[in-house]
A and B are shown apart, each in its own frame.
Chain A
């Protein structure tokens, strides 16, 4: 008797978690609960990455999505006024279009899922060396481009917020005069 039976069970639990929490994120009315359930979805996805032998990806998934993005979304939710207007489904009139889009994505995915042969699992020792080597050799240029893009976005965000502040100070000074 070995531990081969554990992996499918864990996979099943994680899949149920991803699908149920993902559906709940869309269907639930309370936006904070939706944000927390989204974090749960990310955690389950991280678990799947671990099952696939990609621990580094899993760790970054949790670090960035659960630790930072979800907190950012919660921040946004807390600073957004809500509750004094009735909840309306924004997309309720677009059901046919939505159905077409869902079908366009779901059918290829289903077809692929049934014709997919899993590659052999990577050797033990984790994905860290392979990932690091490919990021810093084959994919060094895209990696750098992505970082420059992020830097530009960050500088842009700072400039946008700073400009408002300076203008506010100017008007205040003018008023004082």
Chain B
């Protein structure tokens, strides 16, 4: 009889492993949401010179626990005009893809649900499934704000998926694999991928902000225009599942992708001697990016929906297509060295960042010219 890990029969071990993995992922998502909501409040408070939560527990640490208990204990309200089945199904449709994408996240050398050789494609696929749940939620709520929020979300997520995938493709081109473990292993030591592909990282980071509905791209739930967007009619734990768990879970997944692809994943000093240290490094790196997301949220104002769309279609997609062209050509021309790709990519970053003021100035000039052309003389009106 073959013996699996811990001296268990493989037939017993496989289902047990499944249960442990799903339980662990749920545990991490729930606690991650609690911690991230607390951090979000506290960090925004610090940046905006406020106090943030401080009544419940030391430093307000127990505030989110109290909030979670409140959400669970709330009455299960379903507005009478909503679409019964879809209204209940939508939170699950948003939550399940997010939960499933934790399967391939490499927390440490051997601590990963499954090392799929299409890991990156799998993550992209699950990210694209979230849209369906959001659109269904907007539709089932039978509320114009929810519907507009859902439609906005569909347009935004489908648009920003394109630069996101194009950025991932460049990494796959350079590394030559879609497996998360191989990608991590391809960047040992301090020579991480972000030094080779900084422009792909920039594009992915911006697209990831939009993909997870974070400010400055949180148009689907813009409270100044749409009440709460597609979340308007939800309350209690359904709201909690959709907003708190799914949104923060998605942020964690996206930050894990960034860390794995561009920042060496779980690798760090001392990992070879003590493999479990990888979990610590991975978590630290992921939370560094989550904090960057929060910093951006506390700093930047929200875009308008047409600015959001034109930024994606006229800005991000052309430059990421150019990026993929450059990287593919150089990868073919210099198969043994990454230096040309790195130089070209850094040049692209410089051009992109330096180009923004020029584009902006031309746009402003055009706007002013149009305003001058269409302006009515003040005296003629009276």
Contact = CB atoms under 8 A, between A and B. Distances in A.
Contact of A59 (B14, B125, B139): B125
B129 interface: yes
Given A1-B11, A75-B154, A128-B117, A67 B147 contact: no
A66 B118 contact: no
B135 A66 contact: no
Interface residues of B, number: 28
A32 B118 contact: no
B125 A63 contact: yes
B85 interface: yes
Contacts of A2: 11
A67 B151 contact: no
A25 interface: no
Contacts of B117: 55, 125-126, 128
Nearest to A77: B139
B136 to A, nearest CB: 7
Contacts of A63: 121, 124-125, 128
Nearest to A129: B117
B122 interface: yes
Interface in B112-153: 116-118, 121-122, 124-126, 128-129, 131-132, 135-136, 139, 147, 151
Interface string A1-12: 111000000000
Contacts of A62: 125-126, 128-129
Contacts of B126: 62
Nearest to A61: B125
Interface in A56-107: 56, 59-60, 62-63, 66-68, 70-71, 74-75, 78
A66 B83 CA distance: 21
B352 to A, nearest CB: 25
B122 A70 contact: no
B343 interface: no
Size bracket of the A interface: 20 to 34
A3 B124 CA distance: 29
Contacts of B89: 36
Nearest to A67: B128
Interface string A106-127: 0000000000000000000110
A32 B83 contact: yes
A3 B11 contact: yes
Contact of B122 (A32, A59, A75): A59
Interface in B75-124: 83, 85-86, 89, 116-118, 121-122, 124
A78 B139 contact: yes
Contacts of A36: 86, 89, 132, 136
A39 interface: yes
Given A36-B86, A67-B125, A74 B178 contact: no
Interface in B12-69: 14
Contact of B118 (A33, A75, A128): A128
Contacts of B227: none
B274 to A, nearest CB: 31
Interface in A28-60: 32-33, 36, 39, 55-56, 59-60
Given A62-B128, A63-B124, 19 more contacts: A1-B11, A2-B11, A3-B11, A33-B85, A55-B118, A56-B118, A59-B118, A63-B125, A66-B128, A66-B129, A67-B128, A67-B131, A67-B132, A71-B132, A71-B154, A71-B158, A74-B132, A78-B139, A78-B151
Interface of B: 9, 11, 14, 83, 85-86, 89, 116-118, 121-122, 124-126, 128-129, 131-132, 135-136, 139, 147, 151, 154, 158, 161, 178
15 contacts: A36-B132, A55-B116, A55-B122, A59-B121, A59-B124, A60-B121, A62-B128, A63-B121, A63-B125, A66-B129, A67-B128, A67-B161, A68-B158, A71-B131, A71-B158
Interface of A: 1-3, 32-33, 36, 39, 55-56, 59-60, 62-63, 66-68, 70-71, 74-75, 78, 125-126, 128
